[in-house]
Amino acid sequence: MKFNEDLYRIEKANTFSRLTQKIREHQPKRRLISLGIGDVSCPIVEPIINAMHQAVDDQGDRTSFHGYGLYYGLPSLIKTILENDYSGMGFSENEVYISDGTKSDTTSLLELFDKDSKILLADPMYPIYKNGSLALSRNIYYQSLDSDYKMPVPDEPYDIIYICSPNNPIGNAYTYDDLKKWVDYANKNHSVIFFDNVYEQFISSPDVPHSIYEVEGAKSCAIEFRSFSKRASFTGTRCSYYVVPEAISPGINALWKERTINRFNGASYIVQRGAEASYLPESKRLISQNIKKYKENAEYLRNSFLELGHEVIGGVDAPFMWVSTKGMDSWSFCDLYLNELDIVVIPGIIFGSQGDDHVRVSALGLLENSIEAMERVREYVKK
């Protein structure tokens, strides 16, 4: 037997595990505060918890028990998603799939396309696009960002393009006009856009669409991914969904269903019931309060770094921001914050070779921690 050689090509030097190792070895002089956190800090809201309790009871009763068979998702959840997130867009239940997380979905969907497809990634990007593509031995190409910190449309054709908006790690979002250029490019070149929209809930700018399908022409070239992780605090509970428009190519869903029934036994019934309850009016109200807390935290962090003279991108339509290191390389900046201030930030180089002059700061933690962290930074800068 031989191992998959491509697994050895997965980035080893500049990774979250190196950062985790540094944090483990670090001996803090005071409470360690993480501004790097990619996880949520608000728990799941009560109506969702109640729905999941009810679903547990369903599983203990012969008449309401659910076993195998939910390969593509619970029909009532698919219907709820269509009514709430894609209302008036003309999608059918055949085009929506429920899954257990966008992290795996964005790689799994590569199985629908030719293995020699040319895949275009932004540098920097959410590293899973690169490492997932490598694990499947795909051909990857990189595109640096423009002066707006967005991926410019290339001159050459590529088959699959990953776009993350609102963006992790940069924290900015693609406007309608930005996306229209990509949609036109993809339709012209018969490419497909993998549109990762897991931070949709954080959008507040009026020119940023909540779905790529708001952009004319997107139904014939884009697969959109969304998740309950950040919007409903499902990072540990696990549920996601994605749309594969039949307009991309007739028969695409028949082919994808064939693949899926052979590779996936469906997301948990209990979890899908919880996801469905996230659309109840009371859940929506409570979830929007949580999102508001993260956004207030983002505003505080953004303003603080700006006042300290850093360039700050993002933090308005996403819970992340991209903070300049003022000439340091990103590991050195991260080390300085860790060793001198007991604060964790994420080195930009983890997200790509072009990210070494920035760090990623997250607003998914608690405002009180951000306030304490920024006070430490101000004190340090004064000295």
Q: Footprint of ligand PLP on this chain (CB under 6 A)?
A: 38, 101-103, 126, 164, 168, 196, 198, 227, 229, 235, 240
Measured from the CB atom, is 107 or 374 closer to ligand PLP? Answer: 107
Measured from the CB atom, is 161 or 164 closer to ligand PLP? Answer: 164
Name the minimum Å distance from CB 165 to ligand PLP: 9
Beta bridge partners of 143: 122
Name the minimum Å distance from CB 103 to ligand PLP: 3
d(CA 247, CA 134): 28
Measured from the CB atom, is 38 or 274 closer to ligand PLP? Answer: 38
Measured from the CB atom, is 35 or 198 closer to ligand PLP? Answer: 198
d(CA 124, CA 347): 11
Name the minimum Å distance from CB 174 to ligand PLP: 13
Q: State the amino acid at position 294 in one-letter form.
A: Y
Name the minimum Å distance from CB 74 to ligand PLP: 17
d(CA 383, CA 378): 9
CA 198 to chain centre: 4
Which two tokens mark 294?
């993260």
Instruction: Give φ, ψ of 72 to 5 degrees.
Output: -105, -5
Name the minimum Å distance from CB 155 to ligand PLP: 27
Cβ-proximal residue to ligand PLP, closest one: 101
Cβ pair 267, 73 in contact under 8 A: yes
d(CA 280, CA 342): 41
Measured from the CB atom, is 38 or 209 closer to ligand PLP? Answer: 38
DSSP 177: H
Measured from the CB atom, is 202 or 342 closer to ligand PLP? Answer: 202
- Those residues with Cβ within 8 angstroms of residue 4's Cβ, 6 or more apart along the chain or in another chain: 135, 137
Name the minimum Å distance from CB 41 to ligand PLP: 14
